[in-house]
Chains A and B, each alone.
Chain A
């Protein structure tokens, strides 16, 4: 699964930046065409849900999606298959 921010919905509040245990969300540096500083993603393949949703058949962690007041965070199927390096952090 792949983590995406819908930049037509995001209002740049950075709540996702505050809550992700892996610090995947980074404060946006540049405004998009709507003037919103959409956060960037740092190695999103580390996200628990990206790695394990298919295996467990349910959403894991997901706090960023629940707290995002603008319903801008979701996961999409990767197609075609995109190989990913999994980084394990202790």
Chain B
């Protein structure tokens, strides 16, 4: 089997816009899942509402496309009822951290044995580009026409603080590293959280001087700071540029977990 065999060919091409990175993240996830020898019949994908949350609809496994923000409670239910199943959640920054924020911290606290992949395009993509809790300072959205003046969430720090066993961040440009991080997350008992900074050319790039996909990718690449480099800067007492975000494995530990296969 290969990653291609997990796609519902009859549903492709998908509805994502040209250049949207969500499709890349599905590729990386399916490559990771396939490389572990997981079976279609033992795997469940769960999602909420949003462009990102449409991902399970293109995959052959059973799936739950739930209500906005509630993917994690549904996934928790599936995992508690069927511990032998592999449960993977696709969610968006709005789905996970705005309407679903409370579920997020409690799923991390419970350290339920699922893998959560957040496609963070830093905007509400599906509904036309409203600001989300992850919209960076200064960014233009339909609800922040003069620029966002709130401080965004750091989803990875939130997940680590709330108790998740494995936390990593990459971008949809870093396909190799992302696939490996997802693979690590899938194998780690407890909640694994993988945040992927992803381009939404339609509702983010267009309003933020990143009109074409290439400039969005270049900007993501240029603003990604490797964790190792960040740690080195810290050790040397040098300042961390505040427009950069850290990528790499941020937490990897073994807190007691819930719903682990016996």
Contacts and interface: CB of A to CB of B under 8 A. Distances in A.
Interface of A: 8-9, 11-15, 18, 36, 59, 63, 65-72, 74
A68 B22 CA distance: 10
A11 B172 CA distance: 17
A11 B19 CA distance: 7
Contact of A69 (B2, B19, B31, B179): B19
9 contacts: A11-B13, A13-B19, A15-B24, A36-B18, A67-B175, A69-B16, A69-B21, A70-B23, A71-B7
Contacts of B43: none
Contacts of A12: 18
Given A68-B27, A69-B24, A13 B18 contact: yes
Given A11-B13, A13-B18, A15-B213, A71 B23 contact: yes
A71 B27 contact: yes
Interface of B: 2, 4, 7, 12-14, 16-24, 27-28, 31, 172-173, 175-176, 179, 213-214, 217
Most chain B CB within a 10 A radius of its CB, from A11, A63, A68: A11
Contacts of B217: 15, 18
Contacts of A65: 27
Contact of B4 (A13, A14, A18, A71): A71
Contacts, number: 60
Contacts of B173: 67
A14 B181 CA distance: 25
B240 to A, nearest CB: 27
Given A8-B13, A66-B28, A67-B173, 20 more contacts: A9-B12, A11-B19, A13-B18, A14-B213, A18-B214, A66-B27, A66-B179, A67-B24, A67-B172, A68-B23, A68-B27, A69-B16, A69-B19, A69-B22, A69-B24, A70-B13, A70-B14, A70-B23, A71-B4, A71-B7
B5 to A, nearest CB: 12
B95 to A, nearest CB: 19
A15 B2 CA distance: 22
A66 B18 contact: no
A57 to B, nearest CB: 12
Contacts of A67: 24, 27, 172-173, 175
A15 B214 CA distance: 7
Nearest to B19: A13
B27 A74 contact: no
A66 B24 contact: yes
Contact of A13 (B14, B28, B213): B213
A25 B24 CA distance: 18
B28 to A, nearest CB: 6
Contact of B20 (A36, A69, A74): A69
A14 B12 contact: no
B24 A68 contact: yes
A66 B31 contact: yes
A63 B176 contact: yes
Contact of B13 (A9, A14, A66, A74): A9
